[in-house]
Structure 1
Amino acid sequence: MEKSMIIEKTVDFKVNKKQVWDLLTNPEKTKLYMFGCEVLSDWTIGSEIIWKGKTEDGQEIIHVKGEITEIKNGEKVSFTMLDPNIGIKDIPENYVNLTYELNESESGTVLKLTQDFAGTENAEKRYNESATGWDMVIDVMKKLAD
């Protein structure tokens, strides 16, 4: 059986949707949990989204770039993404799709994260790296929010 190339994570936060949305979209907050990267976008459909950070030697670099494909402010955002530094072609077929969806729960907010690598170059390697990365990132996100 072929391995699914979709990462799905559900994360429970003890804070409201507005606070989780801020955690996901505020560059000052993303820098704290996303390996030093600030997420930058104007959060409208068709606009660019980038994660900008620094290399080990202090050079500023775009670690991930993409485009917003769907947004419902404060509730859901979907975008494409590609690391331009991993040596794969910068073509639409190689962009991964990522969706953050927020729903209220009895204890606060549930974040559903879906990242789809199907059909992309080096899909399995990228999937495995992201699955490991998300486990680390989510732990830090929960500490920051809760």
Structure 2
Amino acid sequence: MDHVARAELVVNAPPERVWDVLTSPEPRPEIMFGARTVTDWQPGHPISWRGEWDGQAFEDKGEVVHVEAPRRLVVTHFSPMSGQPDVPESFHRLEYVLEPVDGGTKVVLEQDNNPTSESAERNVESWRTMLDGLKKVAEASST
């Protein structure tokens, strides 16, 4: 279970703008599959993502682990749609790192607790899609 999914990209917007989009409660189809993020962003407090995917309501859940605006965000994540049991061993740790680069922000997202390298690579594709949406929204709103 030590396979890590890692996705990264550069967003042409400052870290503060990327952070605002990443932590916004507003549902956006481009980010987290259109889910609404519900949390107070306090470490140790719950976080959930509520939305609809392929016509079916879902609610993923986790806990806020670390918040260092606008640089680093760590949360745990569990999706009932994974088919895994709702036990601590089924949760992933998601770490977002935002680093200022010339003209924008490099965003790195890592997800641990993947059982195989193949499952990690499948998750990389999903996270790339989410990061592409983050980029789209952050760049459109910073112009």
TM bucket (normalised to shorter chain) is 0.7 to 0.9
Unmatched 5+ residue regions in structure 1? none
Using structure 1 for the length normalisation, give the TM-score.
0.81
Aligned-pair identity (%): 28
**Paired position in structure 1 for 2:122:** 129
Aligned residues between the structures:
138
Could you tell me how far apart the structure 1 residues matched to 2:88 and 2:2 are?
20
What is the match of residue 58 of structure 2?
61
The worse-fitting range, judged by mean Cα deviation, of 25-34 and 47-56 is 25-34
Contact 1:24 1:30 in 2 (8 A): no
Counterpart pick for 1:79 among 70, 75, 81: 75
Q: Is the 8 A contact 1:13 1:108 kept in 2?
A: yes
Q: 1:72-120 CA deviation, whole Å, 9 max, x = no partner?
A: 12221111111123332211111111001112111111112111124xx
CA RMSD of aligned residues (A): 2.2
TM-score (norm: length of structure 2): 0.82
Task: Structure 2: give runs of 5+ residues left out of the alignment.
Answer: none
Moved over 4 A (4+): none
Aligned match for 2:32, one of 20, 34, 39: 34
One-letter amino acid of the structure 1 residue matched with residue 125 of structure 2: T
